[in-house]
Amino acid sequence: MKFIQKLYLGVFLFAFLLSSCSKDEVYETINEPKTITDAAYGADPTQKADIFLPSGRNQGSTRVLLIIHGGGWFGGNKTDMAQFVSKFQSHLKDYAIVNMNYRLVTFSPVRYMLPTQTDDIRSVMDYVTKNSSDLGVKPEFVVLGLSAGGHLAMLYSYKYDTNSRVKAVVNIVGPCDLSDSYYTNNTIYSIGMGYITNPENLPSEMSQSTFGSPAQWITQSAPPTISFYGTNDVYIPESQHTTLEQKLNQAKVYNEKHIYAGGHDVGFKQSDDIVSKTVNFLSTHVR
C-alpha cells in the first residue's frame, strides 16, 4: 500500500513539474528589436500608431507602454512625444512602446471627444492584444499621456477600461476635473466643453464637463497613478492636482504627485526626471 501511495505521489509530482516547465516554455523570446511605423489600428487615416519592440521581448512578460499626445483634444500628433519614446526605450527596456495618434475633435462636421478618443485607445489595445503573439508582447498596459493626453489616459483607465488591461497611469500635466470653475468660467475653455460628448449620451442631470472628468469616475479598482505638474501652469490650476490626489486617496488607490517649478511645458523640460521617476514607480507598483 505504501509503495502504491509513493508511486501515485511520484506520478503527481512529475506531472506537476512537467506542466510547470511547459508553461514556462510556451513563450518564445524574440531577440531582434523591431519598429513598426504607422500601424493601422482602424479604418480612419488618423488611426495610426508607431510600435517599438525591444530585443529580448517575450509574450509572457513584456508589457506595453501606451503613449498619448496632447493638443487640447483638437490638435497634436504622436511625433510630439518622440523624446519620451527615445528616453523610455533607453530606460524601460523590458517594455514595448506604442505611440498613438487618435481622431481629433472637429467643429464641422462635429466630432466629439467622447467616446471617439477613448474608443481609439481601446482600439489600439485591441490591435496589440490581437497581435500579441506576433509582436511578442503581453497585452497589459501602462497608459501615459501629456496634457489632453494625460486627461484621456486617466479617463480611459478610470471609466472605460472594462477589461482591466491598464495596470498603471502616468499623467503629465493632465486636467482631471473639467467642471472646475477655472474652466467653466473661462469663455475660451467653455466653448470646448460643448464638444466633450453628444448631449444625447449624457446620464440624467449630468453636465458635459462632469461626464468628461476623470476624477468623477475614480473607484477603488482604479490603477495606481503617478502625476507630474507645474507650479505656474496657466492651463492646469493647482485645484486640478489637489482634486485628483484627494479622489485617489479617498478610493485608497496608490498615487504619487510630483510638482516642478514652471508652467505647462514642464512635461518636456523635466522629461529626464519624469522618465526616471516613472521607471521607479513601475518597478514597484506594476507586478
Give the tens place of pLDDT for each residue, 141-168.
Answer: 999 999 999 999 999 999 999 999 999 9
What pLDDT score does 132 carry?
97
- CA 212 to chain centroid, in Å, comes to 16
> Is pLDDT of 49 > 50?
yes
Residue 61 CA, chain-centre distance (Å), reads 18
**pLDDT at residue 25, as a whole number:** 52
Residue 277 covered by a domain = yes
Residue 190 falls inside a structural domain: no
Domain total for the chain? 1
The answer to whether position 1 is within a domain reads no
Residue 18 pLDDT > 60? no
> Are the beta carbons of 153 and 125 closer than 8 angstroms?
no
Any domain includes 227: yes
Element (H, E) at 238: helix 238-250
Measured in degrees and rounded to the nearest 5, phi and psi for residue 276 equal -60, -50
In a domain? residue 138: yes
pLDDT over 60 (residue 259):
yes
Name, in order, each residue with C-beta under 8 angstroms of 51's C-beta and a sequence gap of 6 or more. Answer: 34, 35, 36, 39, 96, 97, 98, 128, 135
Average per-residue pLDDT in the chain?
92
Name the pTM for this structure. 0.91
Q: Can you give the CATH number for the domain in which 87 is found?
A: 3.40.50.1820
Q: At what angle do helices 82-91 and 271-285 cross, to 10 degrees?
A: 50
* Interval 163-191 mean pLDDT: 91
* Domain range enclosing 155: 29-176+213-285
Q: Please, is 281 exposed, middle or buried when counting C-beta atoms within 10 Å of its C-beta (0-12, 13-18, 19+)?
A: buried
Residue 188 within a domain: no
Reported confidence tier of residue 21, pLDDT bands at 50, 70, 90: very low
Scan for cell 527615445, then name that residue. Answer: 86
3-class secondary structure, 183: helix
Decide if 4 is inside a domain.
no
- Which pLDDT band, with edges at 50, 70 and 90, does 190 fall under? confident
- pLDDT tens profile 66-76: 999 999 999 99
Domain membership flag for residue 199: no
C-alpha cell at 67: 503613449
